[in-house]
Each structure stands twice: as C-alpha cells, then as structure tokens.
Structure 1
Amino acid sequence: MNDMPRLGGEISPRRLQIFWAVAHVGSMTKAAKMLGVTQPSLSQQLSSLEASVGYPLFERRSNAMHLTELGITLLPKAEHVLRSLQELEDEVAQGSGAPRHTVRIAGATSAMRTIVPPALLAIGRSLPNLDFDLHEGSPGEALDLLYARRVNLGILAAAAAMELSAGFQQTTIHEDPYVLIVPDEIDLGDVGDPVRELSPGNLHLLNSTVQFVYGTQHTRLIQDWYDAVLPNNRVTARARSFELAIEMVRHRLGVCVAPALSVAGNGGSKGLRVYHTGLEARRVAAIYPSQYRRQEPYAQLIDQLESAGSRIELPACEPIPPFVAAVTGHRRT
C-alpha cells in the first residue's frame, strides 16, 4: 500500500457518499453524474477524504477505479454510516411536525405510469401531508439514484437488480407477462405457417423486429425467442424504452416483444394486436432501504404499491399464435 501523508481534515457524510458512489460504479465520471456534481468537485472531495484517512482508497487503472485493501475495509463502514444518517433524517422528518414530507420515487416508465399513480392517490387519502418527486428513467438510472440516496424507492424489473446493495430489499408488486405486439392488420390467431399464410407485406412486417435495448441477458432472451419462432427475423430498429418500441409498431415499422404493462401505460392497444408469447413474466418490484419496510410513510406506500399492482388491468391479450405454440411447446390459452 502506497504511503500518503496524513493531513487530517473532515470525514463528512458527503465525502463518504462520494466514496460509496465511486466504489459502486467504478468511475468518477459516472459517480459525478449519479450524484449531480461536477467531476472536478467530486475528485477534489475524494482526494480530501483520502488525505483525511492518510492512505489511498482507490487504485486508478485504465480509467477505472479499484478499491485498495483499505477501501475494501472501509466501504461497509461507510455504508453503515450513510444508512444510519438516512434513518436519522427519516425519523426527524416524522417527528418534526413539518407540514410536508417529500417522498422521492424513480422507476421504469411503464410502472411509473400505471402502478404508481393509484398507489399515491390511495396513500394521499390517509397521509395528506405527503408530496412526491417522481423520476422516469432506465432501471440502471433508478438504481443509481436509489443507491446514492437521491430517491427513497425504485420501481423496476427485479431482474435489473439481481444483487441488491447491502441494506436494501425488494417487494414484488406486479407480475407482468411478455407479449408479442403487432400492427392490427396482422391477424395471427389461426396462423400455423406465416410464410404460406400471410401476405408478402404482412410477412415482411412480422419479420421486422423493433427491439428494446437494455442488458445483454434481456437482449439475448428476446432474440432467442425471435430466432425460434421467426427464423427470418431482422432488427429494423432499437429503442431504449418499451414505450418507444411500441410506438414504432403502431406506425407499422415492425413488431416487438414487450411487457404487457408497457402497453397499458402507452395508450393501450389501439392500432395493435397483442398476443401471449409463453415467455416467463417480468417481475416488477419496489426496491428500498431495508428499514423502510417497518417505517412510515414508506411501509404504507409499499403496501399501496402492492395493492395497485394487483389491480392493474392489462390489455386484452389473444392466445399464443399456432406457429409460436408449435415451436415453444406452450398451449394456446
């Protein structure tokens, strides 16, 4: 371990938060974006923290930040301090008699537009002094905001948070089936062989796929499904949200596989036909600091999110097309 002169100084919560963020994402650029600060400011604060402890906390290698032995030792202690400070702030807010209390939520567009509004309406009746700060974004953005303590809850697909950071837990609020979405002129209800039974124009549309881009695991799962049921498929567009992919289908640019919830939160199935796929459903979860499960108003909000998720009306979905059922082995239900 390289020596660094001990200059003393303050080990502040903000510097610990910066240390945690850099350790979490492995990059000062990404950590600065996560925390909403400039990179020079973040770098200065991190250097000051290292000077305070007297030794480097990171090794800089190939534009990536790797924890030193001391950094590895201090990280769980920093997490404990940050978690305790969050608990203290929540308790002070509860007991201060303040007229308003802001709850910050970040999550995927489909869940934020369908599950969150009825949950907030319900909790607002019993806790009228709450207000809400809402952020739509990718699963990665929601997790970054949550782990940086800039939001209180994240609402996203559980698969996007397979390994939760220490001190966080999740509650499933909705089971969301993946569906095949096609322009409404393509009727697949009795199609056993698309090549023989569809018109050339509709066959071309069916083989044109609009894909949602997030994570190699998800992309590979969907592409494997396309390759099995539509061997001649080709990607015509890539989108960073399911909602945009669905709009591309609505404008006859191709077909897509997306969660049914994203159809419900994007104008419904007008201009579309929606079919079951047989793929495993997406599990939508609320992710939050562990203490929130027993602490108001968060405990009640999580309950309301579960309740709202169970009441969501998904778009009418037609049975698996015969040619899909023949390949996947699923019954037409």
Structure 2
Amino acid sequence: MIEPRHLRVLRAVSATGSFSAAARELGCTQPAVSQQMKALESAAGTPLIVRAGREMRLTQAGEVLVRHATGILAGLTAAEEEIAAIAGLRAGRVRLVSFPSGSSTLVPSALAALRAAHPGTRVSLVEAEPPSSAEMLRAGDCDVALAFRYGGPGEEWDDLVERPLLTDRLVGVVPEDHRLARAESVSIAELAEEAWIAGCPRCRTQLVEACGAAGFSPRIDFATDDYPAVIGLVAAGLGVAVLPELALASARVDGVRTLRVAPAVRREIVALTLPDLAQVPAVAATLDELERAAER
C-alpha cells in the first residue's frame, strides 16, 4: 500500500536529488529515507529511482508518481484542515428533521443559539412526523430527528440515541361559545357526542384510543396536519379537538377556549440521532441547543 509518508519522501528525493539531502529537508536520517523508498518501490511493484554513482534520476513510473503525489498530498492536507475545522465547530453540517409544532417552537431558538455559538455550522431543516422521521435517520437522510411518542419509552427507537426534551400535555380545544367553554377541565367522556377535528395520523390514533378508553368512538368530521387549520375549524363551531400545548404555543387561538383534559394525555418530545453521529461535534452541539430550547 502506498502511504502518504512514502510520497513525501519520494517528492523530497526528486526535489533534492539525493537521499542525504532529502533526509536533511525532512529532518530524518539518510537510512530512514532509504528504507521508506524501498517500501514505496515494493508497494508500487516497480523501480522508481535509478542510481548512477552519486546521481539519481526518476524512472518513468517515478515521474508519474511524483506528478500525482503533489495533488494527493495537497488533497490530504486540505482534508485534514477541513476535518479539524469540523471537529472544532468552525465548520460542519447538520441535517435536521422535525414535526411541525417542534419546527415552530423548539427549533428556531435552538438554531439561533447554535448559529451564535458556532457560526460556521450550517443546519438544514425539513419536516416529517414520526415514525417517518426516525426512518429518515436510519436511512441516512438526516442527522438529527425531533420526534414525539405517546405512552412513554418503547422499543421503536432502541437502536437510536434519545435525548429527552420535554413532556407535552394535550389540552381540549372548544369554540368560545361552547357549553363547556368556561370549565377549567373536561373529561373526554363529556365530549362523546361532539364532532371531532383530528390532527396528524399518530395524534389521530391517540385520540381514538383515548376516546375508546372512555367508552365511545369519536365522530371525526375533519382531519388535518395543519394545527392552525384545526383551531380555525374549532373556532368556526365545526367540532372540538385535543391538541398538544406545543402546537398551541405557535398558533393564534382566537375564537377558542382551551381546557385541561381528564384523564391526562401526554406525549414525550425527544431528539434522536444514530450512535456514531452522537459523537460528531456539530450534531452534539445541536442536541445540546435543542435541550436548552426545551428548558426555556
């Protein structure tokens, strides 16, 4: 195998014309240069230098290798400098995927703090709901996935690194003139006869399960992943909904009232990455800033 150190020796020998002069330039001994050259010729499988008395000249193969050595060594130097920049957070890229209510609440302040602390780190953002976001992470399409789940830890992310961020409570949303609008809390069973506006597929499943536990099947008239649209439909008197507090924090709530729901329904917000990616400085810094954003 041709190694970079061998190429450096060959280039020095070519430039100086002798092993002894190359040794002085490289700061090593003449026997060390001779040994490196023998190893390089062995790896190349052909002579690279012709010795004639005290003079040395490159063979055709040696000339080819010297010509390529300059570009190879320059490329390695550039790669080393770029890697050092990434390791020192002077550069780097993080591909983030997030669900919509996370994108509008946790992500902006986290990325603003990350940019202020590490201006050389670039972050891209796309939106996807779990479990699609976790599958994107496993497929190599992102580096960090902001995700949520209901019911506490399970096996679905056992192969991933989880950074718990916060617990997000679901609240009832009713029109401001609803019969229960002045109540502080409501049981889901009290809404059994209402029309429902459902959210994302995972939230929809959770709604059906919660209503089933209360003894009824919800009549879902509308379903949309757009939380402002859910609030607008409720405000228009077209139904009721349960929404995460995180979603309400990023939307106008004119025309609706929010109520505590009993029994309480919560979802866990986490940041996910792969075990190897967790060691990458830019990814680790992104996870740290997401955690700080959740604390705020």
* Short-chain TM bin: 0.5 to 0.7
Aligned to 2:272: 287
**Residues 1:95 and 2:84 aligned together:** yes
User: Which structure has the greater CA radius of gyration?
Assistant: 2
Tell me, yes or no, if the aligned pair for 2:92 and 2:282 is still in contact at 8 Å.
no
Amino acid at match of 1:164: W
Q: Which residue of 86, 99, 119 maps to 2:110?
A: 119
CA distance in 2, matches of 1:233, 1:109: 24
CA distance in 2, matches of 1:161, 1:287: 14
1:233, distance to aligned residue in structure 2 (A): 4.8
Tell me, yes or no, if the aligned pair for 1:179 and 1:276 is still in contact at 8 Å.
yes
Specify whether residues 192 and 153 from structure 1 end up closer, same or farther in structure 2 by C-alpha distance, changes over 3 A only: closer
Q: Describe the superposition over 1:274-297 as per-residue Cα deviations: whole angstroms up to 9, x where unpaired.
A: 111132311000000123434312
1:162, distance to aligned residue in structure 2 (A): 4.0
Tell me the secondary structure at the aligned position of residue 101 of structure 2: helix
Aligned to 2:201: 214
Tell me, yes or no, if the aligned pair for 2:198 and 2:241 is still in contact at 8 Å.
yes
Gaps of 5+ in 1: 1-89, 312-333
Q: Describe the superposition over 1:253-289 as per-residue Cα deviations: whole angstroms up to 9, x where unpaired.
A: 211112111111223x222211111323110000001
Q: Which residue of 173, 176, 182 maps to 1:181?
A: 173
**Residues 1:131 and 2:116 aligned together:** no
Q: How many residues align?
A: 211
Aligned to 1:106: 97
1:151, distance to aligned residue in structure 2 (A): 1.0
CA distance in 1, matches of 2:131, 2:214: 30
Amino acid at match of 1:95: A
Tell me, yes or no, if the aligned pair for 1:182 and 1:274 is still in contact at 8 Å.
yes
Specify whether residues 232 and 111 from structure 1 end up closer, same or farther in structure 2 by C-alpha distance, changes over 3 A only: closer
CA distance in 2, matches of 1:266, 1:108: 15
Amino acid at match of 1:288: T
CA distance in 2, matches of 1:132, 1:190: 41
1:158, distance to aligned residue in structure 2 (A): 3.7
Aligned to 2:291: 306
Q: Describe the superposition over 1:206-228 as per-residue Cα deviations: whole angstroms up to 9, x where unpaired.
A: 7010122524xx54542243356
Tell me, yes or no, if the aligned pair for 2:174 and 2:241 is still in contact at 8 Å.
yes
1:248, distance to aligned residue in structure 2 (A): 2.3
Amino acid at match of 2:141: R
CA distance in 2, matches of 1:190, 1:138: 31
Q: Describe the superposition over 1:91-128 as per-residue Cα deviations: whole angstroms up to 9, x where unpaired.
A: 98542569753211001100111001101111111101
Specify whether residues 247 and 105 from structure 1 end up closer, same or farther in structure 2 by C-alpha distance, changes over 3 A only: farther
**Residues 1:164 and 2:160 aligned together:** no
Tell me, yes or no, if the aligned pair for 1:103 and 1:131 is still in contact at 8 Å.
yes
Q: Describe the superposition over 1:189-219 as per-residue Cα deviations: whole angstroms up to 9, x where unpaired.
A: 179999xxx9xxxx89x7010122524xx54
Amino acid at match of 2:171: V
Q: Describe the superposition over 1:30-85 as per-residue Cα deviations: whole angstroms up to 9, x where unpaired.
A: xxxxxxxxxxxxxxxxxxxxxxxxxxxxxxxxxxxxxxxxxxxxxxxxxxxxxxxx
CA distance in 2, matches of 1:110, 1:192: 24
Q: Which residue of 224, 242, 245 maps to 1:260?
A: 245
Aligned to 1:248: 233
Q: Describe the superposition over 1:14-37 as per-residue Cα deviations: whole angstroms up to 9, x where unpaired.
A: xxxxxxxxxxxxxxxxxxxxxxxx
**Residues 1:148 and 2:139 aligned together:** yes
Specify whether residues 190 and 245 from structure 1 end up closer, same or farther in structure 2 by C-alpha distance, changes over 3 A only: closer
Task: Percent identity, please.
Answer: 20
CA distance in 2, matches of 1:250, 1:131: 39
CA distance in 2, matches of 1:233, 1:290: 40
CA distance in 2, matches of 1:260, 1:191: 15
1:143, distance to aligned residue in structure 2 (A): 1.9
Q: Describe the superposition over 1:113-152 as per-residue Cα deviations: whole angstroms up to 9, x where unpaired.
A: 1001101111111101122210012223322321111111
Amino acid at match of 1:183: P
Tell me, yes or no, if the aligned pair for 2:185 and 2:259 is still in contact at 8 Å.
no
Amino acid at match of 2:84: G
CA distance in 2, matches of 1:136, 1:179: 23
Tell me, yes or no, if the aligned pair for 1:207 and 1:232 is still in contact at 8 Å.
no
